[in-house]
Structure 1
């Protein structure tokens, strides 16, 4: 059994330990110590990282009361110095303690139960057996959790028997067969069995912020951040808002109005632009029809994008009374459009499928229309001429 110093003092950053065993498996080295400050992964909380005699500890886990430290290298000494990444440890303590208050508040307000907990590197989630949760519920939960934090009450831990645990106001009773139960309690806020590390007082959680809530397997999954994570988020988002305020030359509380105004202007401009393109396409179609020598039209453009070419084709098909075969391509986008409503025996998609790869292109379509894309202008011109030879 490894002595768990992190339960005696979660703020302990360094200790001296004796190596009990070193295991080498598949080029991986695992070290067992007589005592450790490294929390092993469990209860939704990731393991600590750090160093043992300067060698990096990447992952820690527990198996049958023995804690295994996965490290990069083999220690040379029997007695070693262990150091944890305390910045990461304290972050986990803030998040995990915040999760307890969140779960306690939800249980108190709505009799909802925490059915899942994940503490990730970026955000934390809990799955609550209430669905749906509306915005008013989320705001009430967030406000009350922060009120609990501001009370700065002591978070206490107890190790008791299962029978003794029944005396505590646990929001979820411990299953039978468990011998020793570790209870984490913030008085009148939350009380539950937990194996994680926590801050000593609720005030150390700092601040609690719900990021979003979404439906998940007939439950609600809540994303949140606490403490330094929440502060970093606020700083980043505040900078974005201040930059937008500067760019729009407006106060931050008027940014939304300004954005909506800009969106409407852009929408109007896009409509005007679309109408202008349609007008230009009609002029282009007039020139094409005027200069055509047959109803098979082959034309390439160096100054038009593929979207403009599709617009030209749509004008020909929608507004001209005659039927055509169109072979139109854009050298800007290196894309081709092939349309046939003139000759039933010509299958556009099949022509592409059978031949386009020979011209270093790819694409396809149906019997009446096909599109393709090419690596260079020479290939697209060659394929266009090939198509023309097949339809004349």
Structure 2
């Protein structure tokens, strides 16, 4: 089914006789049984006020359309959404609602925060078929939860997003990347920690195999030039190369989309950990990896069926099997699992929503 507006969406959910699988652009696959509920009909801009840095848009709107609209006004989404479709063997175009539902946050997260931090309002339909509104232009939050933050990362388990509202950022006038050539993961994590702890406003810190560590700076051209120079002095024990403008943009697109691992055969794993733990985890895994968020995000490809959690242990954080048989997140602690069940009972008492991954 493919509802064309919120009224049809609510009716479809109320009338559902069995489980539903929520699908946006189809870039992350679908799991579980049930009828597919396609959200791409819930598209279009509801409100855009460039002067107020505010955007309200239908959840089924393609991400590319949102980014093109904002670029035309010299603006952007702060959390730098990325596309994982090629990495996960999926086609299609991400929808903005799917990005929110998965809390997809790219390299700029180290400075600008996650998708949930840019989200200021949502409208969604819960498992009863009731329309819930929170934040943005209208507030109706009878449950007492911070529904805006709750829906970001809920992955279609609490309700189906129909509309999302964001605070925006001006696009950077200039950007440059300081590339620390050829250094290994251990040196890279130390260098990234020093850069992120410096006063030079680093907006990206990652590592890619065959290249080395990458440190991004954005802003006015004069400011970027000055900060890159000072950061280069801080990193003077490494061989450094400055990559400017379009070249820098391409580097960070490749890291966000995990291009170095796209053609590696096996299961795709994503670890969110303490950056200081990254060198040990990478050594224990012993497979191709890419790092983002200063080492706090590790992408790895392992042979099919590998228990990557056991190989990587010990670590603090979460490991998610993104592509492979039985793809799933880290098992929740008992207290967290109990809270999650209580939330699902509140918003989806009939249990019709599975985990929708087709964002």
TM-score by length of 1: 0.21
- Higher-Rg member (1/2): 1
TM-score by length of 2: 0.22
Question: Whose strand fraction is larger, Structure 1's or Structure 2's?
Answer: 1
